[in-house]
Structure 1
Amino acid sequence: MKKVTRFFWFCSGAHIGTLKKYPIEHNKFVGVGATIFFTALFASLSGGYAMYFVFSGNPFAVIFAILFGLIWGTAIFNMDRYIVSSINKQGSVNSQILQATPRILLAIMIGIVISRPLELKIFDKEIRQKLKTAYLKGQRTKIDTLQKTYQQKYAQELGKNNDLKQEKDSLEKDINRSRFLLNQEVFGDKTNQTSGIVGYGTYAKQKADVLKEKEDRLKTVTADLDKMDQYLSDRKDYEGVNGTRLFTETQLDSLANVAGFADRNWALGQLSYNNKGTRDLDTYLAIAFIGYLFILFECLPVFVKLMSPRGPYDKALAKIAEANTYAAEKDRERDMLVTDKTYAHSVDVEFENRKQIITAQAAYDLEHQTYD
């Protein structure tokens, strides 16, 4: 337990040598340090999970996720530790709040970043279903767009094909009707369109010729229709209309499994809305409260530091800081004094050197002086 306690003291950013002298403060800093540690742990899991989806499908995805999770958790740990340890308890309440405000804003941002990947994992089942629905809807839209483009591009050919179908249907009806009349004429059935004479006479030959013309025309129309159908089918293949189908359930499951972080994040946001486009309050609150929980968890060490009264540890730490500041000032003054003495000594040395040079020059001139 002593090792665990010292570890959480280290996590809280406390000066362990000073803190050990005040047992009444031990539990408070153990709690602060534990909060910072578990926040970093959640950050590590969150960052690793996010990175796993970034490299999803890569054989080294797990290794990348573990490495990034450790780095991200360490960064958040160091930042939280600095945020808490940098709050000064020496000023008034207002000055402490003002000092902590940017740190609280930073903690809120960290809480949001940490909570999002974990929300994606918590609502994984709902996200998959939302993604499958979105992919299926997108595929329907794609098919409708291809069909519309195809119909607009080949409107003339489609119109001609439709005319051929109508003519073929009309010819088939006329041929059946003409064949029935020919049979009536041959068997001598008297109607307003037959002569009533039995046998294959003149009227029967006329009706047979009309039937033959219609049958020949039907063959021509059928051949043209087959060619047009083949042409339009080839055009559908070329435009991608025939090759585009709605996703099966297996395909939708596969797409949902390989969905990236951006798609899953979008789906999580869409869970807050129902099919009518209005906000689903229950789902929205469930997602929001998870985010609020992590934000509160991230801000908790700062709030604890702000709400806790100034204890003996804080007073002792202030005295140590004051003593260190005083010692630093004395060291600076001593360094300046030493610098001044060094400067004065260097001036004296330079003066002596210049004096010796001038004296030597004067002696030289005196020795070599010439008289007129």
Structure 2
Amino acid sequence: MSRDFYQSPKSSRIMRLFWKAAGADRYILERSTYGDQVKYLCLGGIIVATGLMAGLAGGYAFYTIFEPRGNAIDSFKTTAAIGGNHDITDLPTMAKAVIFGIIWGLIIFNIDRFIISSTGKGDGTEDITGKELKGALPRLLMGAIIAMTISKPVEIRMFKTEIDIKLHEKQIEQQQVYKAKTDSVFNSELVKKDKEIEKIEMELSNKRSRYQTLEQNYIEEARLVTVGPRALAIKQQMDGLAAEIKALEANPDYLRVKKEKEAIEDRRAAALNQSEKYAAGLDGLLERIKIGHEISGPAISWFITLLFMAIELTPIFFKLMLIKSPYDYMEENIKELIKAESGIEIQHNFYQDQQGHERDKVVQHQVIRLLKEKIALLEAQSQLSAAALEHWKEKKKESIVANPEAFVAESKVPHNDVTP
């Protein structure tokens, strides 16, 4: 705006964008001072930055929750094929995380914009009174919650390397615990089957040992003399024992127990192969937050949270501390002009309610004027209707005087005596 004593600076597109983010009026700011323009530029910049950080934190949290589970260091996360440990990104999950991050960032941006634009300017002094703080308390609580939701994903990203190492150790421990439990469950079944098999195998072992002894005796006997009665008797014992061994090896109960044992061992092997998968399921957002607290300690964790709370709550406190500037007076002036143009009168502290709170009286003069016009119009219409009825009555009387027989005949006709 051109003046003799002051020239308002021209605004850039980015400046106007930040003004809109802060909920400021561009029309007034372009006619205000440079200090007001910078003030709302910085305020909008904080809100935009908070939205961007919320989007990044939300997207990272979404990716951490829904990424493919694996070894915290090797399986899905890193590879040495390209010269070191580098992150492998799951593209479908990354695309979903980007979409969620944008939506989440816009939600937080919109909430912050509403919080800041709806926060009043207090009493126009640098002091924050108890009444001002009480009025801003709901906005402060909402801002604190938003700050905490942003800080936690950022915190686990800051300590990602340390968290991955610690998480890898926990996954190994979890895998060993799972293997131990799996072995304890299947070993009890295997022991029962081994006892059943052991009885038959001991008998088989004895028979095979006897067969080997007989075979050795038969060979020695055949060397000394020609095959005689003694050698034939040994051969007959060997054949009988071989038949017994063959029958025992083909025993259905023995074969059944061996198959059952093999099935149990296969199930145990399959369960043990799943141990890495179950251990990889430990790689969740909650577990990473817990490990992050263990690594950083309460002091650093609270420091990061308080840092984001300061960023989130600073605009609210600053708005309460701002001294009234030309922008504020111009804004109030425009509001009063709009109210005056609309015929709105506010009589401040006009009465007290039942709780003793002072209330303003709002007089809608435009409404009152229209209401009075409507009442006057209805009253005029009522008076005209009464005059018309009176005039009709006089004319009716004149017609009766001129022809009373017609009026009497007309009045005697029943209403329901109508022939088609």
Structure 2 match to 1:103: 139
Q: Does 1:244 align with 2:237?
A: no
Structure 2 match to 1:268: 288
Structure 1 match to 2:309: 295
Give the 3 Å change call, closer, same or farther, for CA 334–325 of structure 1 in structure 2.
closer
Q: Which moved more, 1:301-310 or 1:137-146?
A: 137-146
Q: CA deviation at 1:56?
A: 5.3
Give the 3 Å change call, closer, same or farther, for CA 64–202 of structure 1 in structure 2.
closer
Q: Could you tell me whether the CA contact under 8 Å between 1:44 and 1:70 is conserved in 2?
A: yes
Structure 2 match to 1:196: none
Q: CA deviation at 1:348?
A: 1.3
List gaps (5 residues or longer) in structure 2: 1-9, 69-89, 222-226, 346-362, 409-420
Q: Which moved more, 1:86-95 or 1:201-210?
A: 201-210
Aligned-residue sequence identity (percent) comes to 22
- Aligned ranges 1:102-121 → 2 under 5 Å: 102-121=138-157
Cα offsets for 1:318-348 (capped at 9, x unmatched): 4554555555524821221222122211221
Give the 3 Å change call, closer, same or farther, for CA 98–60 of structure 1 in structure 2.
same
Give the 3 Å change call, closer, same or farther, for CA 227–335 of structure 1 in structure 2.
closer
Q: Does 1:45 align with 2:77?
A: no
Structure 1 match to 2:395: 363
Among 16, 22, 31, the residue aligned to 1:12: 22
- Aligned ranges 1:201-212 → 2 under 5 Å: none
Give the 3 Å change call, closer, same or farther, for CA 9–211 of structure 1 in structure 2.
same
Q: CA deviation at 1:163?
A: 3.1
Task: State TM-score, norm by structure 1.
Answer: 0.70
Give the 3 Å change call, closer, same or farther, for CA 298–173 of structure 1 in structure 2.
farther
Cα offsets for 1:146-203 (capped at 9, x unmatched): 5555455677544312333455556667777x679969x98xxxxxxxxxxxxx9999
Q: CA deviation at 1:44?
A: 2.2
Residue 43 of structure 1 aligns with an amino acid whose one-letter code is A
Q: Partners in 1 of 2:303 and 2:230 — Cα distance?
A: 92
Q: Partners in 2 of 1:32 and 1:335 — Cα distance?
A: 39
**For 1:88, what is the secondary structure of its paired residue?**
coil
**For 2:271, what is the secondary structure of its paired residue?**
coil
Q: CA deviation at 1:79?
A: 1.9
Q: Could you tell me whether the CA contact under 8 Å between 1:43 and 1:72 is conserved in 2?
A: yes
Q: CA deviation at 1:314?
A: 3.9
Q: Does 1:340 align with 2:360?
A: no
Structure 2 match to 1:305: 319
Structure 2 match to 1:23: 34
**For 1:89, what is the secondary structure of its paired residue?**
coil
Q: Which moved more, 1:88-97 or 1:36-45?
A: 88-97
Residue 282 of structure 1 aligns with an amino acid whose one-letter code is S
Q: Partners in 2 of 1:221 and 1:204 — Cα distance?
A: 26
Q: Which moved more, 1:287-296 or 1:200-209?
A: 200-209
Cα offsets for 1:112-148 (capped at 9, x unmatched): 2223333444344445455555555555555555555
Residue 242 of structure 1 aligns with an amino acid whose one-letter code is A
- Aligned-residue RMSD, C-alpha: 4.6
Give the 3 Å change call, closer, same or farther, for CA 168–308 of structure 1 in structure 2.
farther
Q: Which moved more, 1:16-25 or 1:125-134?
A: 125-134
- Aligned ranges 1:185-204 → 2 under 5 Å: none
Give the 3 Å change call, closer, same or farther, for CA 312–96 of structure 1 in structure 2.
farther
Give the 3 Å change call, closer, same or farther, for CA 294–207 of structure 1 in structure 2.
farther
Give the 3 Å change call, closer, same or farther, for CA 344–219 of structure 1 in structure 2.
same
Residue 350 of structure 1 aligns with an amino acid whose one-letter code is S
Q: Could you tell me whether the CA contact under 8 Å between 2:122 and 2:321 is conserved in 1?
A: no
Q: Does 1:230 align with 2:259?
A: yes
List gaps (5 residues or longer) in structure 1: 187-199, 273-278
Q: CA deviation at 1:265?
A: 0.4
Among 105, 108, 112, the residue aligned to 1:80: 112
Structure 1 match to 2:74: none
Q: Could you tell me whether the CA contact under 8 Å between 2:121 and 2:321 is conserved in 1?
A: no
Q: Partners in 1 of 2:206 and 2:164 — Cα distance?
A: 53
Give the number of the structure whose residues are more often helix, by fraction.
1
Residue 136 of structure 2 aligns with an amino acid whose one-letter code is A
**For 1:96, what is the secondary structure of its paired residue?**
helix
Q: Could you tell me whether the CA contact under 8 Å between 2:140 and 2:313 is conserved in 1?
A: yes
Q: CA deviation at 1:39?
A: 0.9
Q: CA deviation at 1:103?
A: 0.8
